[in-house]
């Protein structure tokens, strides 16, 4: 049946015009959607509800376009997408595009079974599809998505599959974009930005759902490179495109805070709490914003609300880290150390990673290395934590800061030769900022005189080492946080 004639018939008893239905039916799925996701949902529902005989080919087109929209639109509907794409397979069993997208949607939804022997039938199905269609990039992309969901450390195979996708189809933007995400996970920000650049040259680049992903990971990579000002407009657009998601708002707050735009950051924190009253990070953002401008009592009131939120073990890390930040901002060093350490204990129990792990470890290791109160210092603990950070942050600008804290930890232990060697290693870094170079010179003079470094908790402006107000925007750690060899005993309040 002619597409326009089919559209006229379907609209006769439906709630969509023939031109709307025709636009959906003629949408080339390798190009941006001609209509907003909500409109496609309405048009397809109206067309499918028409009480007329629908040719399988037309029904297949409608279901496929709704399935793709549901799995990629601003408001993702995984179950609905899987259902639509499964129906497409029944109507057209050899549609490799529909089957690949169904596997990817099923993987992202988490609705895949595991056999008693530990096998994943969906994995077997995806591998079989790759063998059946060796000339198509779509099965490889679906398998890469599946591996990312249930075997997320197998980055070598994931990248190999995605590179194969782009060998078969250089304009397959989803593969380029997925590589950008993987490179970000691996802390290879140059490769991440290059992959995103290639994705933006593909036909789908102007599709809003595609732009959301590209903007988001490009912004995170730019921030890792110390280019927060360039990242800011990208994050603002992501929030505008997906106003109903909390995580982009948190990243925007972090970015604004890193740029020193405290007032704007607090506005974002307020908006986040208004929209997402059960989002723990929103309370963190508001509490720290208040604390940084000296309103400690108001900050603690917000933190108390955070404490009352029900949550999983990862949330306990968040609560203790936030309270530690508030205590440190009030120069209550002993309390800050205790709370940061309790956050570490909670983290080791949960074996998870949150956006604030690096900030917690930087602050805890610095206090352990250089607190003025002897009870707060522990050189061995400082070295252990900062060593882990140095290893994890190999490609991050924050690594220099972690190395200087490591040097302070060595000095606290009395190992001044190792402390000087660590400072020299930082000083030899190409393109070192004048501020870090000055810190290297000051610390080296101290250590050469056999003196450890001590913080000035009462006057942060008089410190050699100062952690940024927000040092937690350093991307995901490359490995799951290992369980601590010995859990730190935490005294009761």
> pLDDT of 8-20, one tens digit each?
444 544 456 677 7
Q: Report if residue 407 sits inside a domain.
A: yes
End-of-domain residue from the set 112, 131, 156: 112
386 lies in some domain: yes
**Averaging pLDDT over each range in 31-40, 87-96, 191-200, 290-299, which range is the top one?**
191-200
- The whole-angstrom separation of Cα 132 and Cα 96 is 9
Q: Is 482 inside any structural domain?
A: yes
Q: What was the pLDDT predicted at 352? A: 46
Q: Where are the alpha helices (DSSP H) in 188-332?
A: 189-200, 208-224, 228-241, 246-258, 262-275, 280-292, 296-308, 313-329
- Containing 66, the helix (H) or strand (E) segment is helix 56-72
DSSP 102-153: HHHHHHHHT-----TTS--HHHHHHHHHHHH-TT-HHHHHHHHHHHHHH-TT
Final residue of a structural domain among 70, 97, 112: 112
Helix (H) or strand (E) holding 492: none
pLDDT of 404: 93
Of 38-52, 131-145, 355-369, 426-440, minimum mean pLDDT range: 38-52
Question: 30 in a domain, yes or no?
Answer: yes
Residues 260-286, mean pLDDT to the nearest whole number: 87
Does residue 259 sit within a domain?
A: no
Most confident of 119-123, 185-189, 382-386: 382-386
Residue 120 CB neighbours (<10 A): 18
Instruction: Provide the pLDDT confidence category of residue 414 given band limits of 50, 70 and 90.
Output: very high
153 Cβ contact list (under 8 Å, min separation 6): none
Report yes or no on 427 lying in a domain: yes
Residue 346 structural domain: 329-493
Residue 488, SS3? coil
Average pLDDT score, the chain: 79
Helix count and strand count (H, E) for the chain: 24, 0
Measured CA to CA, the distance from residue 405 to residue 453 in angstroms comes to 10
pLDDT confidence tier of residue 232, bands split at 50, 70 and 90: very high
d(CA 464, CA 159): 42
> What is the pLDDT, as a whole number, of residue 39?
81
Residue 63: the pLDDT is: 83
Let me know: does 280 contact 306? Beta carbons within 8 Å: yes
Based on the structure, what is the number of domains in the chain?
2
Q: Which of 84, 112, 140 is the last residue of a domain?
A: 112
């Amino acid at each position: 049946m002619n597409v326009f004639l089919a559209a006229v018939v379907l609209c006769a008893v439906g709630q969509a015009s023939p031109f709307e239905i025709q636009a959906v039916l003629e949408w080339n799925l390798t190009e941006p959607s001609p209509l907003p996701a909500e409109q496609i949902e309405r048009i397809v529902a109206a067309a499918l509800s028409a009480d007329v005989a629908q040719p399988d080919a037309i029904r297949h087109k409608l279901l496929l376009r709704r399935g793709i929209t549901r799995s990629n639109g601003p408001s993702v509907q995984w179950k609905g997408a899987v259902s639509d794409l499964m129906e497409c397979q029944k109507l057209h069993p050899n549609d490799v595009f529909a089957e690949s997208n169904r596997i990817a949607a099923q993987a992202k939804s988490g609705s895949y079974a595991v056999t008693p022997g530990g096998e994943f039938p969906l994995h077997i199905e995806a591998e079989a599809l790759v063998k059946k269609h060796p000339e198509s990039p779509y099965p490889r992309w679906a398998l890469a998505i599946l591996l990312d969901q249930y075997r997320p450390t197998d980055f070598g195979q994931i990248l190999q599959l995605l590179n194969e996708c782009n060998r078969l189809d250089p304009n397959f933007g989803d593969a380029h974009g997925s590589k950008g995400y993987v490179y970000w996970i691996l802390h290879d920000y140059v490769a991440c930005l290059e992959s995103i650049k290639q994705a933006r040259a593909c036909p789908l680049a102007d599709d809003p759902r595609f732009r959301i992903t590209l903007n988001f990971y490009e912004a995170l990579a730019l921030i890792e490179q110390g280019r927060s000002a360039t990242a800011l407009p990208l994050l603002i657009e992501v929030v505008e495109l997906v106003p109903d998601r909390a995580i982009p708002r948190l990243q925007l707050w972090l970015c604004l805070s890193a740029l020193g735009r405290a007032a704007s950051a607090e506005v974002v924190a307020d908006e986040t709490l208004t929209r997402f009253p059960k989002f723990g990070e929103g309370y963190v953002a508001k509490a720290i914003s208040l604390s940084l401008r000296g309103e400690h009592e108001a900050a603690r009131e917000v933190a108390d609300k955070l404490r009352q939120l029900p949550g999983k073990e990862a949330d306990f890390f968040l609560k203790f880290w936030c309270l530690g930040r508030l205590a440190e901002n009030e120069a209550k060093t002993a309390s800050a150390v205790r709370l940061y350490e309790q956050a570490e204990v909670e983290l080791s129990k949960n074996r998870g990673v949150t956006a604030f792990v690096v900030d917690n470890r930087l602050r805890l290791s610095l206090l352990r290395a250089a607190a003025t109160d002897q009870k707060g210092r522990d050189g061995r603990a400082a070295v252990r934590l900062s060593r882990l950070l140095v290893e994890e942050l190999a490609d991050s600008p924050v690594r220099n800061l972690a190395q200087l804290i490591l040097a302070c930890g060595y000095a606290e232990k009395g190992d001044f030769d190792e402390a000087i060697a660590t400072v020299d290693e930082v000083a030899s870094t190409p393109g070192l900022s004048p501020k870090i170079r000055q810190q290297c010179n000051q610390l080296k003079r101290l250590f050469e005189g056999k003196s450890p470094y001590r913080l000035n908790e009462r006057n942060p402006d008089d410190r050699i080492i100062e952690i940024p107000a927000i040092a937690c925007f350093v991307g995901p750690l490359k490995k799951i946080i290992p369980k601590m060899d010995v859990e730190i005993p935490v005294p009761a309040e």
